[in-house]
Structure 1
Amino acid sequence: MNANLGIRAHDIENVTLQEAVSIISSKGLTSVQLAVSKSLHDVNTTLGSFSPGIAHYISRIFRKKDVQIAVLGCYINMIHPDPSLRRKELDRFKEHIRFARDFGCSIVGTETGNVNPEIVYTEENFTEKPFLAVVESVRELVAEAEKFGVIVGIEGGMNHPIHTPERMRRLLDSVPSNNLQVIFDPANFISLNNYQNQEAVFQEAFDLFGDRIVIMHAKDLMIEDHRIKFVPVGKGILNYHFLLKLLKDKKPYLNILLEETKEQDIDKSIAYINGLY
């Protein structure tokens, strides 16, 4: 049995959306994470532009090639330090929620932002105030999602307040709704401090919220000059044998979406994951 593999649509670069979908399909990939603003360069996708019409127009392109829009990517800084910009970000995400079903999609995904205008690593993110700000924003987004029968998918990461499996569990407990689920990117929970104990990190994640994972991102990492560098799956040090065993047992046929994977690396990444799966 092979994994249920997809990719971020915008990782197929310098082509039209129709060409990108054809390439994705030809590789045997069955799903995408679609960030509309990153995949449609000649169409207005700013706040207020969405309608059932544009959603159906886009979804038809994918349906013709039997490719599922597994998640709408709308990655925002939900705790932006400028309140007016934070409001615009939240409103943009809520617009994606309202029209997600017209795209044939039930999940809208984001990370949790940053205390700075730019998404950078800072331990200020790990303090209580940013966490509580995330809870406030997520609560608002989930309330909107509940109205439309849509899932808010939250992705954790080291550049964000939700930077550990424990923090993710605390967020889930703080916003008790089944419309809040997890986009799990295992590489995002790995740091210079824990990469040698990565299996324990992954096991903790599955123990704490394995039942709430709705999407997995698949990328790899290397340690280079005392920094973490993301690379395509199979080119780094992540223990995908361990990860995929957890996944296969807990979440059969989960959408696994390739990240940090350009067109020339797709075939090797697919072969690597299916070989382990």
Structure 2
Amino acid sequence: MPEFILGARGHDFGRHDPETLFSSIGQAGFACTQLAFPKAVEGVKSYDDVTPALVERARAAAAASGVGIAVDGTYVELSYVDEDKRRAEVAKVLSQIPVAKALGAGCMGSETTNMAKQPGVTRKEAQEALLRSLGEILPACEEQGVLFAVECVYYHAMNTPEAVRMVLDTMASPNLRVICDFANYVGPEAASVDAQRRIWDKVGSWYGDKITAVHFKGQNFQPDGTLYSTSLEDSCVDYAGGFEMLRQMPQASLPVLREEAVPARAASDLAFMRRFAY
């Protein structure tokens, strides 16, 4: 059974210099983080601003605070069908592979593009674009010894356990991993516990051993199916079933990262997370 290491996204603490950012995360009680430089670090407007000196400051600040960097968050659109746009997004990832390596991050991570961003594009076309992007990213990751993790979201290009399995099988890369966000598997038609248990069974049996990080957030649905964020306590997500699945996995440890964290609620969030992770 993995040891679950509780953490939070860095940019939920606001934009700060690296020292303040990591100190704030650690003082809130979190042991690891997902770091996205353009979202969390002062002065970083694009990946071009992530200099070696800044990377070293972040690495040193993480070490001093005792907060591990579980995920180097690369927020990119891997499934753009427009080739010029897609290549520009891939270039962002390629530029950050040495950064992830220098940070000692557990992995790099990205979602796979909201279908609403490409009206008229079919999911099959978006998934084919995703495979092209990964085909350019993964050789560089393999060469530099960096893991790259993709995240399933029910309204994105890679939207179901079946789609995740297809991507993993097609790419067949030892450096391709999965970020498991329980909430992102759960659309309005799958909000019941029974429906979610069927999802967790597929995730665990098909690729549970490929999970390298877990996201933890609250959500629910309006009667018309509209998604909205909630506290962890008011969420429809079947955390108990998800962690029952994760406990069967062979990983020595797994970071569990609170998304949409409110620093003032860190103590109660951690208490809630510990109910499932310990």
TM-score, length of structure 1 as denominator length: 0.90
Q: Deviations over 1:193-219 (max 9, x none)?
A: 111111111121111110100000011
Q: Check if 1:165 corresponds to 2:161.
A: yes
Q: How do residues 192-271 of structure 1 correspond to structure 2 at under 5 angstroms?
A: 192-196=188-192, 197-226=195-224, 227-250=226-249, 251=251, 253-271=253-271
Q: Which runs of 4+ in 1 moved over 4 A?
A: 122-125
Q: Deviations over 1:228-263 (max 9, x none)?
A: 213243321212122222223324531000112211
Determine which of 128, 131, 148 is the counterpart of 1:132.
Answer: 128
Aligned partners of 1:152 and 1:181 also within 8 Å: yes
Amino acid at match of 2:69: I
Q: Check if 1:151 corresponds to 2:147.
A: yes
Q: Which residue of 2 aligns with 1:52?
A: 52
- Seen in structure 2, the aligned counterparts of structure 1 residues 158 and 273 have a Cα distance that, compared at 3 Å, is same
* Offset of residue 123 of structure 1: 9.0
Amino acid at match of 1:191: G
How many residues of Structure 1 are paired with residues of Structure 2 in the alignment?
272
Aligned partners of 1:220 and 1:237 also within 8 Å: yes
Structure 1 gaps of 5+ residues are none
Aligned partners of 1:232 and 1:261 also within 8 Å: no
Between the aligned partners of 2:12 and 2:122, the Cα distance in structure 1 is: 28
Q: Check if 1:11 corresponds to 2:7.
A: no
- Seen in structure 2, the aligned counterparts of structure 1 residues 98 and 135 have a Cα distance that, compared at 3 Å, is same
RMSD: 2.2
* Offset of residue 81 of structure 1: 4.2
Q: How do residues 61-210 of structure 1 correspond to structure 2 at under 5 angstroms?
A: 61-114=61-114, 118=117, 124-126=121-123, 128-196=124-192, 197-210=195-208
Helix, strand or coil at the partner of 1:222: strand
Amino acid at match of 2:204: F
Structure 2 gaps of 5+ residues are none
Helix, strand or coil at the partner of 1:237: coil
Amino acid at match of 1:77: E
Amino acid at match of 1:64: A
Between the aligned partners of 1:175 and 1:199, the Cα distance in structure 2 is: 27
Helix, strand or coil at the partner of 1:233: coil
Between the aligned partners of 2:5 and 2:241, the Cα distance in structure 1 is: 17
Bigger relative contact order, structure 1 or 2, given CA contacts below 8 A and separation 6+?
2
